[in-house]
Structure 1
Amino acid sequence: MAGRRIFVTGAARGLGLAFATAIAEAGATVAMADILQEPLRQSVADLQKRGFKVHGFPLDLGDPQSIEACARAAVERLGGLDGLVNNAAITNSGGRTSEQLEIPMWDKVMEVNVRGTWLMTNACLPALRASGRGSIVNLSSDTPLWGAPNLMAYVASKGAIIGMTRSLAREVGGDNITVNAVAPGLTLVEATEYVPKERHQTYHDRRAIQRDQVPEDVCGAVVFALSDLSRFITGQVIAVNGGFVMH
């Protein structure tokens, strides 16, 4: 990844921070964006203290103007863009049946996870085309691969990410841009603290590799999808879940 310029959304903590760290460790310069400004500031400072080239930018995926401003600032600071990791998302619908979901909740999940990913991608496409070796990695989830219950809005949004990945891969293949989705299983991060112990145990027991999944387990797939090792792989879904779902 030496010399690459990569933009990671939702990078203040959890999976996004793990991705930004792994990408920086592989030699790239990284733009990190998040709505959580203080955690982002601290994470950027911590990585800079380690000697990595990282920069932080505010981002609200629910606000189209924020998306445009963030993408523009990140591309300008990096001097171009070789890769985009669309990681930022919200869950919000956890623990509710389909009938218990409220329309505003559904709309907010779709606004951030689906529309936000679409708009951020569009904002970055000119710079990715100019790179000549652009890569987009969309974070989906294994939940739409097995039909996780009581999580309808989130599952639907992550299923949409898979469809968007495949469609966009065909649109931008002629620009030498690859577009792939990484679908993690239930990972031990702040965003999954709401998940009941029973669901964690189900994942643990039904995995081929029976242990908890941690952020570092997902980093290899993301770095691979951004690198020259995957230049002829596009429109694919890489499930990273220890064999819970064999996709």
Structure 2
Amino acid sequence: MTMQQQRGGQQQRGGMLAGRTVVVTGAARGVGRAIAETCAAAGARLVLADILEDAGRDTAASLAANGAEARFLPVDLADPASIQALADGVAAREGVVHGLVNNAAIATGIGGPEFDQLEIATWDRVMTVNVRGTWLVTRAFAPLLVASGSGRIVNLASDTALWGAPRLLAYTSSKGAVMAMTRSLSRELGPRGVGIVAVAPGIMRCEATEYVPEERHRLYETGRAVPGPQDPEDITATIAFLLTQGALALTGQVLPVDAGFVFT
């Protein structure tokens, strides 16, 4: 049977991610929840991970009530032991993982202090969660992704690192690091059959960005090639495709999925 026939068979059985186990971090709400919902609709078996335990369990229960196979496990990306416990818990029940979405991150501070007013503690916290946490989650799940034979990783970056958003230095720097990490990891994971891509959306209208100054929202919404707001659902179909077997040739790429605010 050809790979095309196999993929076609999967779609007939319930979507392009049917039969694939996908782990999504930061899945309790906002963008992470939207990613989980789209992956569930595409037939994935889901493990949702978040530091927000009550909201995470509610999201898993909601997906399950709609017919998806989903469960929640807690994780704190600032704690290496918590990350390893997450991977161990997935390994014990699922055995292998076909897709990992590194979505969890700290995104506070948009339109905040200038670089010389930024607190060292804030910088360290953002780097610990967004950069070290992404690396440690990837490291912990790599054996399970390799074992699946078709592992795919999607890292959530940000187009702020592509156009150099001001007054957002810690976050912008952390997402630039995620892009560089993606490229480097593609050369280490590729020989093991694992593809990795970074998706760089713009600012979205969701509960996690309610604090963003309206002028920053307007900057994006008037500056996009397709003008208007961007919702989490605008990026999730792209992410679902990148988790499929057919996305391996895109490994190492940084994809700005922001309706044309930046071009690369």
TM over 0.5: yes
- The question of 1:30 aligning with 2:51 is answered no
Structure label with greater radius of gyration: 2
CA drift at 1:244: 0.5
Provide the C-alpha distance between the structure 2 equivalents of 1:214 and 1:75, rounded to a whole number of angstroms. 33
Kept in 2, the 8 Å contact 1:33–1:57? The answer is yes
Q: CA RMSD in A?
A: 0.9
Of residues 75, 80, 99, the one that matches 2:91 is 75
Moved more, 86-95 or 175-184: 86-95
Structure 1, unmatched stretches of 5+, are: none
- The question of 1:97 aligning with 2:114 is answered yes
Counterpart of 1:183 in structure 2 is 200
Provide the C-alpha distance between the structure 2 equivalents of 1:197 and 1:34, rounded to a whole number of angstroms. 28
Moved more, 14-23 or 186-195: 186-195
- The question of 1:218 aligning with 2:226 is answered no
CA drift at 1:83: 0.8
**Paired letter, 2:63:** L
Provide the C-alpha distance between the structure 2 equivalents of 1:9 and 1:90, rounded to a whole number of angstroms. 12
Of residues 174, 180, 186, the one that matches 1:163 is 180
Counterpart of 1:136 in structure 2 is 153
Number of residue pairs the alignment of both structures matches? 247
Counterpart of 2:140 in structure 1 is 123
CA drift at 1:193: 1.1
Secondary structure of the residue aligned to 1:137 is: strand
Provide the C-alpha distance between the structure 2 equivalents of 1:53 and 1:246, rounded to a whole number of angstroms. 37
Q: Any residues of structure 2 matched to 1:236-247 within 5 Å, and which?
A: 236-247=253-264
Structure 2, unmatched stretches of 5+, are: 1-16
Kept in 1, the 8 Å contact 2:57–2:71? The answer is no
Secondary structure of the residue aligned to 1:240 is: coil
Could you give the per-residue CA deviations for residues 127-151 of structure 1, whole angstroms, max 9, x where no partner exists? 1111110001100000000000111
CA drift at 1:207: 0.5
Provide the C-alpha distance between the structure 1 equivalents of 2:128 and 2:185, rounded to a whole number of angstroms. 19
* TM-score normalised by structure 2 residue count: 0.92
Kept in 2, the 8 Å contact 1:5–1:80? The answer is yes
Provide the C-alpha distance between the structure 2 equivalents of 1:242 and 1:172, rounded to a whole number of angstroms. 30
Secondary structure of the residue aligned to 1:232 is: helix
